Each structure stands twice: as structure tokens, then as C-alpha cells.
Amino acid sequence: MKKLLLTLTAICCLFIIVPSKIYAFDITVGATTWYAWWDIDQGKDAADIDPAFLFGPALAMKFTDEFNLTFVYLYGKYDYKGSEYDPGVNKDNIKTKRSDSDLALNYRLHDYIKIFAGLKYMAYTKNKNIGAYPTASQPGSNQSIKSEHFGLGPGIGVSSTIPLPINNMFLLATLSGFYTWGNEKVSPSYEQSHKIGLNEYGFNANLSAAYYISSISTVVSLGGRFQYFITAYDEYIYVKHMFYGATLTATYTFSL
């Protein structure tokens, strides 16, 4: 995870340093949050997970009227409740940390529509206390399972900015698809860890209303986001994930 973030940061810095020697361009910095529900379906009883806030930076660099680079990273923590999806004694003691990131190069087709392509990264780390699990060395002792899951791959999509009949207000809409490769490492405290390969594919949909505060060059947007994807493990196990909830973003733009 740290290596990926360092790589993405280096890419962003490279795009900043090189063009700035030639001509000025716009930089947008800000923060975004997503209050999201997470539904998981493995063909059994779906996991009961409390909604949570994901939050992180939102960055953009405009090089020309046609091209700009965007980067968004979200991070949050989820708590599970009892479910057949996660068998064990202490089902309420399941903590999950999730990351969701997008790096994209955008091209403006005309004033209202852009197309983009880039990288999609998704990951989570899950810690589960399964209670008393008898082993030869520690019969009846408390045991735990740690899962480290990640996927990285290409994404493509289209976005639209639609002016509203109210001054400085507009609609933002985005639809994108992605396909990632990755693996999941499972480390039970009572046996040797193992790793399984996986692919994930799905789509994101965003719709929000935005207001531009011209006096401080800031855009504030409020809306909703829906994400659906399937995790396909090498062992022919398929898990469906659905995230949905409200988003709030504030960004500030300046020129170099």
C-alpha cells in the first residue's frame, strides 16, 4: 500500500514539474468524503455491516484546455455484525480498513463531456477474532484471522458537467468501469498463512450538484455515489460487493 501511494505521488509530481517549465497550468486541491453502506453477497446470508465514512484527498492538474490529470484516494473503517458470511464465535468483533483510489487522465471532447482512462486501486484489511479455536499447542485459546486483499488495474469512463439555470451551479455526473488483478493473503493465528489470486470487475456511478464560490475559487459539491463489483477468486468463488451513499467534496483551484 505504501509503495503504491509513493508511486502515485511520484507520478503526480512528475506531471507538475515537467509542464511548469513550459507553461502555466491549473492545480486543484481539496478533500472528499463518502458516507457509504457496504453490502456483501456470497450466495449465503449477506454480511450485516455498519455504514462508515471514507475520506481523503482530491487532486487535479490541468495542463491544457483538453487534458487534465485527476487523483482521488478514499480510506475508511467498517465494523461487521453477526453473519453467516464470517463464521466464528465472536462475530461482532470484525474490523475492516478499506482503501479506494483512482488516477485518471481526462480528455475534454467538448464543453460538457470528458472521457478518461487510468488506474483503479482497491484494498481492504480485515481482522476477525473467532474466539476459542482448539489447536494442538493451545487448546481452547482465543484465535484470530487477518485478511489482506488488494486489486490494481485499468479503468475507463465518461464524465459530464452540466450548467444549471442558477448562477455558479452545475451538475456533475460520472460513469466508469474497471478491471483489476490482485490477491488475498489470509493469515490465521492457528495455522500457516496462504494466498489466493483474484480478479475484480465492476463500475462506479456518481451524480452531484456543485456550487462555485468565485471569490475564493472553490467548488463545493454534494451528491451520491454507487459502486458495484464482483470479486472472482482463483478457486471459482464469486463475491458481490455493493457500496452506496452520500458524497461531499470541496476543492480549491489556483494557477502556476
User: Residue 116: which CATH number?
Assistant: 2.40.128.100
Average pLDDT over residues 27-54: 86
Instruction: Identify which has the larger pLDDT, 11 or 48.
Output: 48
Q: What's the predicted TM-score (pTM) here?
A: 0.84
Give the H or E element holding residue 90: none
**Alpha carbon separation from 208 to 41, 55, 129, 223, 224 (Å, rounded):** 28, 17, 39, 4, 6
Percent of the chain with pLDDT over 90: 60
The DSSP secondary-structure symbol of 214 reads G
Instruction: Identify which has the larger pLDDT, 21 or 63.
Output: 63
Question: Counting Cβ atoms within 10 Å, is residue 214 exposed (0-12), middle (13-18) or buried (19+)?
Answer: exposed
Cell of 247: 458524497
| Residue 73: domain span | 2-255
Number of domains composing the chain: 1
> Other C-beta atoms within 10 Å of 194: how many?
10
Look at the block and give the residue holding cell 480478479: 199
